[in-house]
Structure 1
Amino acid sequence: MKAITSKTLIRLAILGLLGIACMVTLFLLSENEMHRNNAFIRRYPHHPISKTYDLDLKYNSYYIAGHANDLLYLGNTTAPLHLLEVNLITKDTNHIRIKLDEPDLPFRSIRIGILAPYFFVMDGSVPCIFRGSITDWKAHLWMKDHAYFTRALPIDPNTLYIKTISSKTNEAVLGIIEKQEGTFNVTLNPNILERQLDGMFDVDGTMLVSGDNSQLGYVYFYRNQFMVMNPDLELLRRAETIDTVQVAKIQLSQRNAHGEIKMKAPPLQINKGAVLYQDLVMVQSDRLGKYEDKAMLDQAAIIDVYNWNKQTYQFSFYLYTIGKKKVKAFTVCGDRLVAIIEDELSVFRLKPTHFKKPLRAQNMANGYERSPE
């Protein structure tokens, strides 16, 4: 065997360095595509929100379950029947333990939803839904075995907005579960989610319910589109965000022996969390527009605000992070914006110059308030 000469070693080293350089270049180009789109320019008004305080939650496993007036409720993924109640005015906290009348079901993915004076405990893999009163936090089995679902949000004491899998097409579909006179009706609307590739990954997104429960929403993760519906799941608006990606950029594997399809590479995510607030849709995006500094992605989440009724882009604002902690979720409680930033809770005021007062605040300002029916 011939000895490797120094010239050969130099050539091999050069080839290796070129290969590494190519890989780094491709990675940087990929990262740039993931985070930048020079086709749009955002408008940032002067401080449309202002922070009031941060609260240490101690754990990063909390999610937003709902709110009732000035009380925010946080569910916990690692303690499924535990709730943390936060008084947004006094900052006082209260730990709540939910009791189920049938606690031995084979639960796998419990989620809690608050719709005062009720709360719901939901697991679409069983499938079952419990309902109880927030006065005693005891829940009774409300529905079992009528419909499987991947997500459910209560919209009135007897109705839930769900996402499920169609038995006819094996594709994701939005629907309504409604209890009437002791029986359950499950209504699916196959026309809301629009298939592009597989009808599952390509239509994935965030389900929304407005604060007064008068509208439902859905924001796609991987394309520049969102929809707003009425509580009967009839389409009111289909609108686009300021991003220009209209077709989901995802790579899928071939179906395996179990019939499963998986993503082959991280997808290009256009939209993240979102909130439906009166006639506004607030959408979190990590995509930088023209002239925006990439360093901002380490300092804040970008929230784009749209008027769904007028189908217009209004403005954007920064939701600043805490150190290296990232925004996990956010919601609107009255005239406050509340965000979970890993293990911290941040509370902000919405400025009325940019956000209308909620109906309750308007009524109180006018000297009256609607009583519950």
Structure 2
Amino acid sequence: MKTKIQILGLITVLSVGLVLALYLRSRSISNQNNGFVRSIKIGLLTQEKEIVINAGKLGIAGADYTGFYLWDRLEIGRILTFNIHKLDTQTRVIAFPDTSKNGFGRTDIQIAPPYFYVTNLKTNHIFYGTISDWQVKGLITYPSKANKVYMTKSTKVLARIVDRGLLNLGHWYPGQTAFAKSPAFDGIQGDGVFSRDGMFLYDQNNKRLVYLFHYFNQFLVMNDSLKLLAKEHTIDTVTKIKYKLGQLDKGELGMASPMAIVNRKSCLEGDWLYVNSGLRADNESVNDFELNSPIDVYNVKNGKYLFSFYLPKYKGDWVTNFTISKGKLLATYKQGIVLYRFSNHI
């Protein structure tokens, strides 16, 4: 028995050591010379408000003229509103029918005023209502598994779907039997899972979508029927995914070699795409890169890189997510949320 415990302890130590080694190797890749430069604007942001809170559990749901909406991943239906005029927060709770919250698995919330949408990704259900009273008014059931869902104003469902083990994009109207798949991913390199992993961004006002890949320097611009309008590139030079696949616990497929995340987080506002890059530019110091999160800005209408700016660390942590609306930037960190104002010369 003692020998088994010692073996288990050794395995645990080795596992932790392997994870740490992979992380350090990934940071090393991020910090090396990566063959590109940034045009960095200094002094672009002014901090307006900070709120110390466990923001690691908060997701960004949307924005309007009053401010931003965040949702609690641990408490289904709990919404935190951040008013950019009063610089305060309030808590709202979505009221579900008596049994609707039973069986909730992985959840996602989208707020596109005046509507809210709560997606149960486990059961393929979308609950919807209005923010005037935060009451669930109805339910939509879409036909197949997805891991990211958007509702449009025309009740079309846009989704990143799991199709025969591969990630794809699809759209669906209530009454149809299946998602109509987009050809946007045709010709994408790699295994069809990690190679297609990325961020699915939707702009309600312009009926435009952007898909930004995590592990190489490409983003796709589409309309809300998922017709591909353009393939564009970020400023870094990572054109091919470099990794090895291996078997993890329970026979699952996973990464067996470390690699840097090229594009960490992002948001879309109007014609501009904001990308939190995971790679240091050749004209950046290691110190600047370690103390800040670089945000690269692109025009999605023509794919051009415009400029970059820094989001500083907060209480020693890099930004975990961010969104932009009406000249304000809301950033979430592990220990708080911070509101910034852009200067007039943006």
> TM > 0.5 between the two?
yes
Q: 2:208·2:222 contact (CA, 8 Å) conserved in 1?
A: yes
Q: Deviations over 1:214-258 (max 9, x none)?
A: 211111000011111111111122111111111112221159986
Shift in Å at residue 133 of structure 1? 1.1
Which residue is 1:12 aligned to? none
Matched, 1:288 2:284: no
> CA–CA distance in 2 between the matches of 1:300 and 1:323?
12
Q: 1:202·1:250 contact (CA, 8 Å) conserved in 2?
A: no
SS in 1 for 2:267: strand
Q: What pairs up with 1:307-346 in 2 under 5 angstroms? A: 307-346=299-338
Which residue is 2:254 aligned to? 262
Letter of the aligned partner of 1:297 in structure 2?
F
> CA–CA distance in 1 between the matches of 2:183 and 2:250?
27
Q: Deviations over 1:293-342 (max 9, x none)?
A: 11223321100111222222111100112121220111112221111122
Q: 1:174·1:193 contact (CA, 8 Å) conserved in 2?
A: no
Residue 26 and residue 238 in structure 1: after superposition, are their counterparts in 2 closer, same or farther (change >3 A)?
Answer: closer
Q: 2:108·2:121 contact (CA, 8 Å) conserved in 1?
A: no
> CA–CA distance in 2 between the matches of 1:59 and 1:310?
35
SS in 1 for 2:329: strand
Letter of the aligned partner of 1:164 in structure 2?
I
Residue 333 and residue 341 in structure 1: after superposition, are their counterparts in 2 closer, same or farther (change >3 A)?
Answer: same
Percent identical pairs in the alignment equals 27
Q: 1:81·1:98 contact (CA, 8 Å) conserved in 2?
A: yes
Which residue is 1:166 aligned to? 163
> CA–CA distance in 2 between the matches of 1:107 and 1:28?
36
Q: What pairs up with 1:1-373 in 2 under 5 angstroms? A: 31-101=27-97, 102-144=99-141, 146-156=143-153, 158-167=155-164, 170-179=165-174, 186-192=179-185, 194-210=187-203, 212-254=205-247, 260-354=252-346
> CA–CA distance in 2 between the matches of 1:79 and 1:213?
32
Q: Structure 2 unaligned runs (5+)?
A: 1-20
SS in 1 for 2:253: coil
> CA–CA distance in 2 between the matches of 1:75 and 1:343?
16
Q: 1:85·1:93 contact (CA, 8 Å) conserved in 2?
A: yes
> CA–CA distance in 2 between the matches of 1:349 and 1:191?
35
Q: 1:105·1:126 contact (CA, 8 Å) conserved in 2?
A: no
Q: 1:114·1:154 contact (CA, 8 Å) conserved in 2?
A: no
Q: 1:281·1:307 contact (CA, 8 Å) conserved in 2?
A: yes
> CA–CA distance in 1 between the matches of 2:140 and 2:321?
28
> CA–CA distance in 1 between the matches of 2:169 and 2:34?
33
Residue 195 and residue 125 in structure 1: after superposition, are their counterparts in 2 closer, same or farther (change >3 A)?
Answer: farther
TM-score scaled by length of structure 2: 0.86
Q: Structure 1 unaligned runs (5+)?
A: 1-24, 355-373
Q: Deviations over 1:53-89 (max 9, x none)?
A: 2222344311101122213111111112211112111
Which residue is 2:14 aligned to? none
Letter of the aligned partner of 1:41 in structure 2?
V
SS in 2 for 1:99: coil
Q: Which protein, 1 or 2, shows the higher relative CO under an 8 Å CA cutoff with sep ≥ 6?
A: 2
Q: Give the alignment's Cα RMSD to 1 decimal.
A: 2.6
> CA–CA distance in 2 between the matches of 1:156 and 1:272?
28
Shift in Å at residue 92 of structure 1? 2.3
> CA–CA distance in 2 between the matches of 1:103 and 1:248?
42
Q: Deviations over 1:335-357 (max 9, x none)?
A: 21111122322112233432xxx
Q: Deviations over 1:147-172 (max 9, x none)?
A: 221111233251232101124xx310
Q: Deviations over 1:270-292 (max 9, x none)?
A: 00111122222111012111131
Q: How many residues align?
A: 326
SS in 1 for 2:185: coil
Residue 27 and residue 275 in structure 1: after superposition, are their counterparts in 2 closer, same or farther (change >3 A)?
Answer: closer
Q: 1:152·1:161 contact (CA, 8 Å) conserved in 2?
A: yes
Q: Deviations over 1:66-124 (max 9, x none)?
A: 12221311111111221111211112222111122242542211111101111001022
Residue 112 and residue 193 in structure 1: after superposition, are their counterparts in 2 closer, same or farther (change >3 A)?
Answer: farther
> CA–CA distance in 1 between the matches of 2:264 and 2:52?
24
Q: 2:265·2:321 contact (CA, 8 Å) conserved in 1?
A: yes
